[in-house]
Structure 1
Amino acid sequence: MELTLKKIAAMLDVSPATVSLALKQDPRVAARTGERVRTLARELGYVPNNLGRALQSRRSGLVAYMLADIAGSFFNEILQGIGEVATEHGYGLMVGVTRGCAASEETQLRLFREKRVDGIVVSSGGQSATRDQLLRYEERGVPVIVCSSETFDARIPHVLTDNEAGGRLAAEHLIGLGHRRLAYFGPSLAPCRRYDGCAVAALAHGLAPVPRVASEEDLARLLASRSRPTGLVTYADTFAAKAKHVAEQAGLRIPQDLSVVGFDNMWFTSLPEFDLTTVAQPQRDIGRVAMDMLLARLRGQAAESRLLAPSLVVRGSTAAPAGSRRKEDRKSGRLRGVRCQDTRTSR
């Protein structure tokens, strides 16, 4: 390994230390120099001695991602982003699927410990016992990053979609179409940033407070009331699908009688029978940013929690309310909003 590093260094008239840092894509090396080093290393067929490096640094060269479910596209996209950055920096990636089960979470964390992973990205870990284990990892110097949900401890940074901005984006779209009576349909009446964003947008435009419903029965009653909403913001695309069913059962047409906005841009939203306007989360970017944050912490640098901006995918489930003259461009699949513009958030 040392002779190869020296050979590359001599050919490029740089130090072996610079070559070593460049091969690790260390930000202290100028971008142009780093690219020259990596290009020549590829041409020479250089393969780093990861075992030797691990023995010297006491690191395994492995990172781990613990997630609840791998069947759907949401976490798959995050996994893709994590894997891309891990590969770019020469790390192997372990994946642990927990299905949201506390026992599975504990099993995965035990396996991560046995494999001596250098750091962990987590999209599953709501159980109190799991949280305690993750904090113990932190105490032992193994950094943890939480992604796609807010962190549960100030010592563990997170990266996720700006959910309040997403709720505001959905409501602003409906208001821009001319809707004056909005409602929100979600899993519970507990505090929710997506609802908060919707409520803030309505207040800013002088609309009445946005009612919330958490069951299909309550939604049906709301849609049957004299003051029924003409625009509905939902917590997730699955709730938008439920809302579509409830509306149709009530004899309402989408979007003629009720405009519906989902959240997540799941695979089925583009199907003709749904054609759902929805707020898209930048899942792959969440994964890439989470891995970048983990690498920064492995270098001993601080990593602040981050929010990534969502975007709006406008399809056929939203339109101006009946009798309204206000129009808005609704080209199918058009994206609105700035994708992956991040803002800082206190942890």
Structure 2
Amino acid sequence: MSSPSATGRVAGTRRSREISIADIARVAGVSHTTVSRALRDSPLISQETRKRIQQLALEMGYTPNAIAQSLQTRRTSTVGLAVTSIADPFLSEVVRGVEEVARSAGLSVFLSATHNDPEQEIAVIETFHRRRVDGILVASSRITGEYKQRLDQIRVPTVLINSQAESQYELLHWVAVDDLLGARLAVEHLLALGHRAIGYVGTSSRPRSCRQRLEGYQAALASAGLAPREEWVTIMAAEEASPQEDVLCGRRALLRQLDAGVTAIFCQNDMMAIGVLMACHRRGIAVPRELSVVGFDDIEMASCIIPPLTTVRQPRIELGRLAMQVLLDLLHEQEGRNHVLAPMLVVRESSAPPPAS
């Protein structure tokens, strides 16, 4: 039934076209339906016949047609992942966590960038929908309730990761890090070192995390009996939310912070903190002897710069894993749960007690 000459003839034709179920049926001497059932491991076919046909398909180099399968199962075994930018150092580990869980579940991940534009973000989601993805993940989403009508038309299970929208669509599920707690950990660390004039540097391009980390900063100062001065807080106007823009914001913010007389600066994220460190180096300001600097995120670069950056670590891989698991629960028609993960403080060499003066 599977003589070398028969297999050789079909294999020879594979150079010009893919092997089909009809090819396998012709060589095996069975019907198209029998081959189809055998490849699906259907109990309607005897185990001996299933194994023989599956082995023949393997020898002939048969590749299942994903489009045809999706029409039968109404599933494509794919998920869409929208990120702000593929160059964002924070998101690399998040993507890794998503892919680990997706791969173990037999799912492929489509990646697309939204560039912090809510219109482009909703367009990406609509494109994923047209591609018939089974589910969608969105990192640092800017989607607000105003897109409710367009989202209602999509109806694809969707999970947000660290959403930046101040008023997000209430029917979407989400996974996030506790920004308020992280900010408190950073500022409490500086307070424990003896700092009393502590600045905050944030950006308008990430409104939700900026607000929550600012609130955590203010709460930590209030708990220490300190009233934060207005000049200690610098919110830089920005739109791109890119690593390059964050560094520039940090560099530009330093002079304002120095004029305010702070002895330590807590930055909204690590790239801004790196910008502050760069500006300190240009001005000959010794960190941490003259000024302490603390970031947020704990990107890989944070431990490699000089001095290594004290920062708040977000469990980035776990964020991706958990978001993908929530999506799997939704795909299996289980109740999806929202999650808030706890960050942790990582003390390195960019923070120290304030100058004796």
> Is residue 2:150 matched to residue 1:137?
no
Residue 274 (structure 2) aligned to one of 217, 241, 253: 241
Deviations 1:116-143 (Å, cap 9, x if unpaired)? Answer: 11111112542668665334323xxx21
Displacement of 1:4 in angstroms is: 10
In structure 2, the residue matched to 1:299 is 332
> Hey, what's the Cα distance between the residues in 1 that align with 2:318 and 2:178?
13
> Hey, what's the Cα distance between the residues in 1 that align with 2:195 and 2:215?
18
Tell me if structure 2 keeps the 8 A contact 1:137–1:143: no
**Partner amino acid for 2:235?**
A
Number of residue-to-residue matches in the alignment = 280
Residue 215 (structure 2) aligned to one of 191, 196, 203: 196
> Hey, what's the Cα distance between the residues in 2 that align with 1:265 and 1:289?
19
In structure 2, the residue matched to 1:232 is 265
> Is residue 2:298 matched to residue 1:281?
no
SS of the residue 1:202 aligns to: helix
> Is residue 2:142 matched to residue 1:121?
no
Displacement of 1:79 in angstroms is: 1.1
Displacement of 1:163 in angstroms is: 0.7
> Hey, what's the Cα distance between the residues in 2 that align with 1:287 and 1:218?
32
Point out where structure 1 has 5 or more consecutive residues left out of the alignment. Answer: 8-46, 325-347
Tell me if structure 1 keeps the 8 A contact 2:157–2:331: yes
In structure 2, the residue matched to 1:270 is 303
> Hey, what's the Cα distance between the residues in 2 that align with 1:124 and 1:177?
33
> Hey, what's the Cα distance between the residues in 1 that align with 2:141 and 2:220?
32
Tell me if structure 1 keeps the 8 A contact 2:101–2:324: yes
Tell me if structure 2 keeps the 8 A contact 1:143–1:297: yes
**Partner amino acid for 1:318?**
S
Displacement of 1:82 in angstroms is: 0.9
Deviations 1:7-59 (Å, cap 9, x if unpaired)? Answer: 7xxxxxxxxxxxxxxxxxxxxxxxxxxxxxxxxxxxxxxx9998887555422
> Hey, what's the Cα distance between the residues in 1 that align with 2:142 and 2:269?
19
Distance 1:5 1:131, change over 3 A: farther
The higher radius of gyration belongs to 2
Aligned ranges 1:174-193 → 2 under 5 Å:
174-188=190-204, 192-193=211-212
Distance 1:248 1:55, change over 3 A: closer
Point out where structure 2 has 5 or more consecutive residues left out of the alignment. Answer: 1-40, 48-62, 237-250
Q: Which has the higher helix share?
A: 2
- What's the TM-score once normalised by structure 2's chain length? 0.69
Tell me if structure 2 keeps the 8 A contact 1:224–1:250: no
Tell me if structure 1 keeps the 8 A contact 2:142–2:163: no
In structure 2, the residue matched to 1:321 is 354
Greater shift in the superposed pair: 106-115 or 143-152: 106-115
Tell me if structure 2 keeps the 8 A contact 1:150–1:160: no
